[in-house]
Amino acid sequence: DTAVSQTPKYLVTQMGNDKSIKCEQNLGHDTMYWYKQDSKKFLKIMFSYNNKELIINETVPNRFSPKSPDKAHLNLHINSLELGDSAVYFCASNLGAGIYNEQFFGPGTRLTVL
Partner 1 sequence: AQTVTQSQPEMSVQEAETVTLSCTYDTSESDYYLFWYKQPPSRQMILVIRQEAYKQQNATENRFSVNFQKAAKSFSLKISDSQLGDAAMYFCAYRSARGAQKLVFGQGTRLTINP
Query: Which residues of this protein are in contact with partner 1, per CB under 8 A?
Result: 31, 33, 35, 40-45, 48, 55-56, 88, 90, 92, 94, 96-97, 99-103, 105, 107-108, 110
Q: Residue 14 or 42: which CB sits closer to partner 1?
A: 42
Check: CB of residue 34 under 8 Å from CB of residue 89: yes
Q: Residue 75 or 90: which CB sits closer to partner 1?
A: 90
Q: Residue 14 or 53: which CB sits closer to partner 1?
A: 53
| Closest CB 43 distance from partner 1, rounded Å | 4
Q: Residue 14 or 28: which CB sits closer to partner 1?
A: 28
| φ/ψ of residue 84, rounded to 5 | -70, -10
| Closest CB 95 distance from partner 1, rounded Å | 10
Which runs of E-coded beta strand occur in the chain? 4-7, 10-13, 19-25, 31-37, 43-50, 53-57, 64-70, 73-78, 87-94, 104-105, 109-113
